[in-house]
Every structure is written in C-alpha cells, then in structure tokens.
Chains A and B, each alone.
Chain A
C-alpha cells in the first residue's frame, strides 16, 4: 500500500511530490498525459505574480505571496529559469490611476510593497509603451518563469528522492474501504492511505469520482496568446493593464526565453481539452495590446497558442479541503491564476494543514534538494568555457536546433534524466528545440531520429505530443 497518491503532475502535483519526498513515504504520482506539466501548467502566461491583486485574507492572497517569495531559492535548487523582472500595471487615465491606488492598498494588506510611477518614470522604464500611459503600479517582486522546466525539474528531483511517477495513466475510479483508498486507472489498481487530487482542469471530475455529491464545478476559461520572436526590443517588465470587470486584461511581457508573449483573452469554453485558437480572439488580443504599445509587434509572431484556466463558478478562491466522505482524500480544485505562482506554497500548505495530521512525517536523512546542474550552452558567455565543455564532450558542439542553438549534448542530457521523454513536444518544452522562428521546420526530423534511436523504436512511432499524434504515417515505397 502506498502512503500517498497524487493525481496529476502539473505544477501543484510536481511540487507536492517533491515536498513529500523530503519524508520517508511511499509516494506515487499518476498523470494521464505522457509528460508532466502538460495542462494549464504549460499553457499560461508563465508569470510569477507579486500578490497585490488577490482579495486580502483569501487563500489566493496568502499562497500567492508565500509562493512568490519561494522562487529565488527554488530556481537555484531545481535549476530552472526565473527572472525577477518586476511588473508594471498600466493606467491610461485618472480613473484607472485611482484603481492603481486601490491595488496598492490591497497589496499592503497582502504584504506586498509596490510603488506608483509617473508617466515619465513609466516611459523611462519602458520606452515602447504607448505615450498615452498615465501612470503605473510597479511591483518589483513579480517575475517570469520557465514553467516547462519548473515542472520537469521539480518532478525529476522528486523521482531522484524516491517518488514513483506513472505517465499515461488516467484515473477512472476511486473508492475507499476501511483505512485505504483504491485508485483505479486505465492500466492498474493502486491502494493508498492518502490521496491528493491535484488534477487541475479535471479536479472537479476526479473529486466526483470519489464523491458523486461533490458540488463545485470547473467551467474552463480559455485564454489565447501570441508568442513573438526574440530578435528585437519590446518590453523589459511584465506589463499588465488595470484589471476591469472583464478580467485581468491583455498583458505584454518578456518570457524567460527572451521571447515576448501577448495575451490572454478570457472566454468560456465547453471542454477542458479545447486549446484551439480562433481568429476573432486573436484579433481582439491584437487590438487590446495596441492600446498598450506604441507600435504593434504582431508581425513578429512565431506561434499562437491557447490554454484553459480551472475556473470555479460560485467560488472565488482556491478550494483546498479534505473530502467530506473521507479526510484522507484531499481535493485541490479551482487552482487558476495565481496558481502557478502559488504552487510551491500550496504544496507546503497541504502538507502542514492536512497531511501532517494524517500520517507521521519523518524527514529523510538523504534528501537532496538539488537537481544535477544542466549545461545550457546558450547561457554560457565565455568562449573558453564553451570550448572546454565541447572538448570534454563533443556532443555539445553538434548543434541540432539552429534557431535556438541546442546541441546533441543538451538533448542527450535531457533524455538521460528521470522524467521520461515521450514526444517531440516534451523535448521542445525542456530544450526549446523547434521553439524558434522555423518552428522545427529544420530540426524536427533530426530530433525524431535522435528520439527514435534513444527509445529504440521506428521513426514512424515517434509522437508529436500525446498518443496517436504520430508525425509520420508509413515508410515510403
């Protein structure tokens, strides 16, 4: 019998697994996709929010602020990109300026210090903003994160500390008897003392598998984005607009890979799997961003994408509670923005508030908080150092993805790590191969070959993303 089963390997599931791996526990993570961090955790703005925005005294406010403060240390231990570039929330008239003051006060109640900048100060920081800007709220603790590698490295560290991860396993039934909970997947049945539902967009469905009377329902809200090329200057901070009744509005930000992101909109969608983009939404986002910026940079687009928010109707906070049927089944439902920022704090909160009261937590003596350092050639400045790396392993000199300058050495390093790589998309998330302006036009066939060799499978069995996403149909005549 397992001690803890975590359903879902998104940001929250990954941090829960890693936090729990500090203790002598038998932990299993079940993920229905073939990679970690594949749902809302991969398709979002990738912003670490400072925490001035959530309603004071809410779980969102508490866990956002706590989470934000953890990223400096986490990014070092887990070796992922996090840049504390600060955010500017832009006001374009006196009325919006008043809202900034309200937001500043709310930030103080949440324990977040911000400052209001004049038009000149704002334009000094961001010369490409529209000259109509009136003032801005500067939050220095906000940042941008590589959410792909955040999830991957966190889970890698958890696995290296003893956690068991099973990908491609979808939970289809959950029952309980005596002091154990039975989790049935499409492949197996597992028993556990404690089960944590961290299933993100599907968390309401999972909650109902266990308790059919679970009341809350997720109504996914889709957001679409533009990703722009990285060869020009646009903005240096996360640039929000003043939130309105219609939501947080369209932001413009640098990303952790020096690209830029513009989005999202906020529309209801019927399915959590609907990540399609549409023309109307993208035009809407383009028009909104043109109010923020002097010149529209949309022509620099290299990709558009959509992601869904795990939005709860009639519940205005994260819902983190044990099941009414059984205190050993813990539901985490409605983890939408600022969910990514809050995810490491949510993990600690769940352990302190609930798990520590259900099971004895003995710290492991051999817990290692660090992932083995990744060599990222792009991040190394000195030619001598790069030369030394290549001399000791020539694979680092063999470039596979030329847009992003990713070498075979870096690819083989990722393939050797604890979280399995099952698709071209998984490689792309780790290494940005195919993320540049050619979008894999040149390197995808090479990557498919490397992956096929590593997995010892035929090229036609290489997946682009999930099951049945084979890139090739058959061998040519």
Chain B
C-alpha cells in the first residue's frame, strides 16, 4: 500500500492552494498527492472563460483558466505529484482511501487528508421545480460546459431562474452567442449575484431582472415550450393572480451551490444542529487529521477567497503531520439572527494566532455594526454602510488569550 503524508481530494484551486502551502510549510513535495477526477487540474475554473479572477491574489484580472494555470505551473515546478482521471471511491476509517482509474482500483494510506472537492449546482429536482421534466431545463453551469467546452448552444430563447453569478455570466454569454435571453427571475427580494455581474451581464444587455419572482411551472412534453412565472410574498408563497406565461425553449437554473461532500457521509463527522460539519479555525473536521477547505467547506463568491482558505488547511495539515495533533476542547462560534452561517463554527481553546471568521448576513441591511466578541471581550467592532448576503464577510483577528466560553458574531442595525 502506497503511503502519502498528505492526500488532497480534488484538483481545483482549493486543492492546489493547500498543496503548495503544505509544501511551503515543510512537507516534501513527493509526500503530497493531489487526486483529481477529471482530465485536468484547475477544476471548474477551466470552464469560466470570463474575466474577474485574481484581483486580490494577483492584483490583475484573469480568466478562470489563467488563474488556475498560475497554480498549475507552481505545482509542476515544486514537483507535487497529482493523479488525473482518478476518482476517490471511498474514505475509510483507517486513514486510507480507495481510488480508481484506468490503471486499477487501489488503496492508499495517509497521515492527513484535505477535502477540496468543490461544490455542485442545486438541480431542478433539489428546488422541486414543478411541471414537466422535459429537455431544455438545465443548470447554468451545465449550459456553460456545453457552450464553452463542447461548443454547442443549448437554446435560442432563454429564461434564467435565480440570480446566482453563473446564471448572470451565462445570460451575457448566451446573448453574445446569438440567443435571446428574455429575463432573470429571483425568488428573493434582492439579487444573489455580485453587483458587478448584475451591471455587466444584465444591465449592459438590457436583460430584465424580476425580483420576488419564481417559476411556478414548466410546460412542454418533450422540449420546454413555456414557463409560468409568479410573484411571491415575504414568506415566499405564490401570490395568486400574478401568474404570467413566458414562451422559451430553455430554462437555466442558477439557484445556488452546495458543497460536494457526499464522500464524507461514511465518516460520521460531527455536525452542528443545522447539519453543518463541525469545523475549527484550522479547517479541521471532528475527525483528527481530516481537513476541508474551499467550496466543499462553504461556497465562496471569489476564487481568491478560496485560495486564502486553502492555505489555512494546507498549513495546519502540514503542522499536524510534522508536530502531531494539537486538538483541544473546543468552544462554539455562535451568531445572532441576522447572520446566516459562520465558518469556523468552533475554536480550539488553546489556539493562539490569527483567526479568519467568515460569514454571510441573512438579508440585505444598511448601516450596521458587525461585532465579534466572547463573554468578556470585544475582538472586533466594524461599522458597515451596507451588507448583502451575496458578499461573504471575512474578518481576521489575533487570539492571544483563552476565549471566554464562546465567540459570537453579531450584525446589529445602528439606530
């Protein structure tokens, strides 16, 4: 059985960032292994041929493949081994993984494991899209794959459900390819995409965005023929009488991304009461030596943020291999009702050093103060003019003493 000090599942930006950081922290390149299921390193960045990547990481605007390539070059330079077209079939409880490729089925052992498997798009089934399950309904990322990787246009009269960034990007992309993009409907009363994408992908092309609106029904036996739009109230229930028929041959879904972590189900990792994995400030799960980062931990808006987080996982996985476990009793990271979620959701009591707290607000708010505090001290108090759910917040601070009982993240509306 082959042994690696660190095995990384996934070959996208999170995986490469973690591998490089682990190497820099003192793990020999040859003791690290990246396992990627597709034929290329770079993950989903390869189909993101638009620009906007790398502004904070490289101070320039790169396309997805260009951003990925900056890391691929380094992986090759350092000589970090990677397997392509290789799938991790299972993660076993005895610090081994089963992998499969055209070369065979094999068990590998590891000291530390980093999960960097990215995310998947929520499917029509996951949002219980009603009506007929005909051709012409697909996720925006799938359409992006057909168009950018295979060179085929999935439809000519397109409607987009959900204002996630991939949907917005595809609205522009399909328009440029000669399709008519009729509009974008968003269930919430605010957009879920980045502001720059609303402007550059919709407004610049006169594509209307309908807020508090969703698709009630899809119609078409074999191929989509039309959809029924309807407005929703504050509780997201349909408002009777607001139904509107829209003729289209394609409905693209951009209704959110979910971490692709099914492979972890066998490990019985501890979860909090909302079902999220318990993750500490080192990106370590409840199982010693298993780390998780990037979009498989939580969905990020920008790949630059993924890279930052991957370095945390890579650094601490290396430290764990070199110095052994330093896990201690943990204290919870809690939040108030204006916060959707917080990563990490626990902190090790004995931890000293920099902590990045990442969170999203639950709804758009203006004139707020973000307060991070424990039972006795306030670590950070930051005023913000506006805060929106589609922009992840990342606040760092230094921990030099024991945190008292808990850490709480609070968004307060100012008087």
Contact = CB atoms under 8 A, between A and B. Distances in A.
Interface residues of A, number: 59
B102 A398 contact: yes
A441 B142 CA distance: 5
Nearest to B149: A445
Interface string B375-396: 0000000000000000000000
A116 interface: no
Contacts of B146: 445, 471-472
A243 to B, nearest CB: 26
Interface residues of B, number: 59
A276 interface: yes
Nearest to B87: A399
A275 interface: yes
A465 B135 contact: yes
Interface string B146-181: 110111111110000000000000000000011000
B100 A276 contact: no
Contacts of B105: 383, 386-387, 390, 397
Interface stretch (A13-21, A148-156, A204-212, A302-310): A302-310
Contacts of B106: 383, 387
Contacts of B262: 229, 231, 403, 436-437
B126 interface: yes
Interface string B219-262: 10111000000000000001000000000011000000010101
Interface in B75-109: 85, 87, 89, 98, 100-107
Interface in A374-396: 377, 383, 386-387, 390-391, 394-395
Interface stretch (B23-31, B66-74, B116-124, B398-406): B116-124
Contacts of B85: 398
Contacts of A472: 146, 152-154
Contacts of A175: none
A337 B134 CA distance: 26
B130 A475 contact: no
B145 interface: yes
Interface string B348-359: 000000000000
Contact of A474 (B98, B153, B265): B153
Interface string B28-61: 0000000001000000000000000000000000
A476 B149 CA distance: 11
Given A391-B104, A398-B101, A475-B151, A470 B133 contact: no
Given A397-B102, A469-B222, A474 B152 contact: yes
Contact of A232 (B37, B153, B265): B265
A467 B221 CA distance: 10
Interface in A223-252: 226-227, 229, 231-232
B196 interface: no
Given A442-B120, A472-B153, A437 B126 contact: yes
Majority secondary structure, B binding face: mixed
A213 B238 CA distance: 46
B104 A387 contact: yes
Contact of B100 (A305, A399, A445): A399
Nearest to B124: A439
User: Most B CB atoms within 10 A — which of A232, A275, A474?
Assistant: A474
A469 B223 contact: yes
A276 B125 CA distance: 13
B217 interface: yes
Contact of A473 (B89, B155, B221): B155
Given A439-B124, A472-B146, A476-B151, A275 B132 contact: yes
Contacts of A273: 221
Contacts of A275: 132-133
A317 interface: no
B142 A469 contact: no
B2 interface: no
B335 interface: no
A469 B136 CA distance: 8
Closest 10 CB pairs of A and B: A303-B125, A439-B123, A464-B135, A394-B102, A469-B135, A386-B105, A231-B265, A469-B222, A472-B152, A387-B105
Given A405-B87, A437-B258, 14 more contacts: A276-B219, A278-B131, A282-B128, A304-B130, A395-B102, A397-B105, A405-B89, A441-B142, A442-B120, A442-B142, A459-B150, A467-B222, A474-B152, A476-B177
Interface of A: 226-227, 229, 231-232, 273, 275-279, 282, 301-305, 377, 383, 386-387, 390-391, 394-395, 397-399, 402-403, 405, 407, 436-442, 444-445, 449, 459-460, 463-477
22 contacts: A226-B128, A229-B262, A231-B262, A273-B221, A277-B131, A278-B217, A279-B128, A302-B125, A304-B125, A399-B37, A399-B100, A405-B87, A436-B262, A437-B262, A439-B123, A441-B123, A441-B141, A445-B142, A445-B146, A464-B135, A471-B146, A473-B156
